[in-house]
């Protein structure tokens, strides 16, 4: 009877790549703050000590994972020739690296200042690459308009990261490619060469109700600095009151965050119900919804949506499911309207399409490519209508 000695387990040659991929998945699923080095090590099948031989800490690993993913994307984008080939390539990359956009969106703020600068510079190169190909395809398009449509196309292609709807792979790629190319053919209102005159935004008035004033102050602070970095004292200071005065209205910081998120959800539903009541057709309702949604995200530069994406994990457990259910039901209203307008789509295709439109409206108002435009809301509405396939503002 013979025995087989398998010998020592060989270290994979691509271990670093496996670590980076596992880190992205862990950060995507649990968030940066809730993910430990031991979680990532376990996902790769090594010890935490083995992981530290590659990376000195979690921040360094996050930076490496984000920069590596962006570099991979830039590399595959350098190969295609023409808009159709480019959008197809990025659609495939997006589905293969579904965690990347949300991790970039949600966790970049945990990097050092220099790491953030590098990450944003590389990310800007991604949209610029699309804009360059777009200008070659549409020579009459101005650089500013090409930049807007390039960013919008990238947002469409990144949108699967923000939802869990799945389609057969080939159909998913086909649909993403079609939606991105539709964006690239959209006619937007021409940007002026000087850009929109930017007057400083007025501070605005504060609600007389102390509780409402706290909600109004806390949301932007959480969105800008992150839940963990904002204290009850910071929130009180924004209104010139003490930390103890804040506790008079909310038992804890997580309860205050939950109230902010519930209020944002209620505001979306109130706008939706109003827009439905004022519409006589599904097509009219979708245009009203797009306009009210775009007006809201342009006003707060997408801060409210960013807060829901990045901080919902910090609300009390009893609030998690109601907030999630509210968002699912909200999207379902858009899907029902779209299916009424587009009987050629099935349920899954309609959901993917709606999420693509919402992702554009959620992401672009954070960037000067939108905020510097005089007609930012109208531009986003035109792009949204084109994505939904219910508008004729698309070139042949």
Domain holding 27: CATH number?
1.10.357.10
164 and 241 part of one domain:
no
Q: Please say if the pLDDT value at position 93 is more than 50.
A: yes
**2 inside domain:** no
Q: For 94-97, which contacts have Cβ atoms below 8 Å and span 24 or more sequence positions?
A: 94/157, 94/158, 94/160, 94/161, 94/176, 95/160, 95/169, 95/172, 95/173, 95/176, 97/24, 97/69, 97/72, 97/73
**370 inside domain:** yes
d(CA 287, CA 280): 12
**7 inside domain:** no
355 and 253 part of one domain:
yes
20 and 134 part of one domain:
yes
Mean pLDDT check: name the lowest of 113-127, 181-195, 225-239. Answer: 181-195
Beta carbons within 8 Å of 320's beta carbon, 6+ residues apart: 312
User: DSSP secondary-structure letter at 228?
Assistant: G
165 and 310 part of one domain:
no
Cα radius of gyration (the chain) = 23
Q: Please say if the pLDDT value at position 380 is more than 60.
A: yes
For residue 127, which of 160, 100, 157 has the smallest C-alpha distance? Answer: 157
Q: Please say if the pLDDT value at position 262 is more than 90.
A: yes
Cβ pair 360, 384 in contact under 8 A: yes
CA distances from 280 to 64, 276, 295, 310, 393 (A): 52, 8, 22, 36, 22
CA distances from 7 to 1, 3, 10, 231, 240 (A): 19, 12, 9, 55, 68
176 and 247 part of one domain:
no
164 and 288 part of one domain:
no
pLDDT (0 to 100) of residue 391? 80
Residue 186, beta-bridge partner list: 394
d(CA 321, CA 315): 10
Confidence (pTM): 0.92
| 3-class state of residue 163 by DSSP | coil
Give the domain-ending residue among 137, 169, 184: 184
172 and 216 part of one domain:
no
Computed over every residue of the chain, the mean pLDDT equals 92
pLDDT over 70 percentage in the chain: 93
Question: Average pLDDT, stretch 26-32?
Answer: 94
Confidence of residue 252 (pLDDT cuts 50, 70, 90): very high
161 and 219 part of one domain:
no
Question: Average pLDDT, stretch 309-325?
Answer: 93
260 and 117 part of one domain:
no
pLDDT (0 to 100) of residue 87? 97
The domain tally of the chain equals 2
Domain of 305, in residue numbers = 210-388
pLDDT digit string, tens, across residues 74-88: 999 998 889 999 999
Q: Please say if the pLDDT value at position 203 is more than 90.
A: no
Cβ pair 183, 146 in contact under 8 A: no
Number of H helices, E strands in the chain: 19, 0
Question: Average pLDDT, stretch 229-249?
Answer: 96
**244 inside domain:** yes
Q: Please say if the pLDDT value at position 195 is more than 60.
A: no
d(CA 200, CA 192): 19
376 and 295 part of one domain:
yes
377 and 334 part of one domain:
yes
d(CA 129, CA 367): 17
d(CA 247, CA 363): 33
| C-beta atoms surrounding 45 within 10 Å | 12
d(CA 110, CA 201): 28
Question: Average pLDDT, stretch 14-23?
Answer: 93
Question: Average pLDDT, stretch 23-42?
Answer: 95
Confidence of residue 3 (pLDDT cuts 50, 70, 90): very low
pLDDT (0 to 100) of residue 8? 47
176 and 214 part of one domain:
no
**333 inside domain:** yes
**195 inside domain:** no
Main-chain dihedrals φ then ψ at residue 394, nearest 5 degrees: -130, 135
Q: Please say if the pLDDT value at position 50 is more than 70.
A: yes
**30 inside domain:** yes
pLDDT over 90 percentage in the chain: 83
| C-beta atoms surrounding 212 within 10 Å | 13
Give the domain-ending residue among 150, 184, 218: 184
Question: Average pLDDT, stretch 59-75?
Answer: 96
**193 inside domain:** no
d(CA 367, CA 339): 31
Mean pLDDT check: name the lowest of 8-22, 39-53, 348-362. Answer: 8-22
């Amino acid at each position: 009877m013979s025995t087989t000695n398998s010998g020592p387990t060989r270290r994979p040659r691509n271990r670093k790549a496996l670590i980076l991929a596992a880190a992205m998945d862990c950060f995507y699923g649990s968030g940066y703050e809730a993910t430990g080095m031991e979680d990532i090590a376990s996902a790769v099948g090594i010890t935490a000590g083995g992981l530290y031989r590659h990376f000195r800490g979690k921040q360094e690993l996050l930076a490496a994972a984000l920069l590596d993913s962006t570099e991979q994307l830039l590399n595959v984008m350098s190969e295609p020739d023409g808009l159709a080939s480019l959008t197809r390539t990025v659609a495939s990359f997006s589905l293969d690296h579904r965690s990347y956009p949300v991790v970039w969106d949600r966790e970049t703020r945990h990097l050092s200042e220099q790491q953030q600068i590098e990450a944003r510079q590389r990310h800007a190169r991604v949209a610029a690459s699309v804009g360059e190909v777009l200008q070659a395809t549409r020579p009459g398009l101005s650089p500013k308009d090409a930049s807007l449509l390039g960013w919008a196309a990238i947002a469409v292609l990144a949108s699967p990261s923000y939802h869990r709807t799945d389609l057969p792979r080939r159909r998913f790629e086909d649909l993403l490619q079609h939606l991105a190319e539709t964006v690239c053919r959209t006619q937007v209102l021409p940007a002026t060469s000087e850009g929109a005159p930017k007057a400083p935004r007025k501070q605005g008035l504060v609600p007389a109700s102390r509780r409402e004033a706290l909600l109004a102050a806390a949301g932007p602070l959480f969105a800008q600095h992150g839940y963990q970095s904002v204290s009850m004292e910071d929130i009180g200071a924004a209104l010139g009151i003490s930390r103890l005065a804040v506790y008079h209205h909310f038992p804890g910081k997580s309860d205050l965050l939950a109230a902010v998120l519930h209020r944002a959800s209620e505001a979306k539903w109130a706008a939706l119900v109003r827009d439905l009541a004022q519409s006589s057709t599904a097509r009219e309702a979708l245009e009203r919804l797009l306009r009210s949604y775009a007006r809201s995200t342009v006003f707060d530069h997408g801060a409210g949506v960013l807060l829901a994406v990045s901080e919902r994990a910090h609300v009390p457990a009893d609030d998690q499911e109601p907030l999630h259910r509210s968002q699912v039901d909200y999207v379902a209203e858009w899907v029902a309207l779209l299916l009424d307008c587009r009987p050629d789509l099935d349920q899954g295709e309609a959901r993917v399409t709606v999420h693509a439109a919402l992702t554009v409206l959620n992401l672009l108002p954070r960037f000067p490519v939108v905020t510097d435009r005089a007609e930012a809301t109208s531009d986003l509405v035109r792009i949204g209508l084109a994505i939904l396939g219910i508008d004729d503002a698309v070139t042949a």
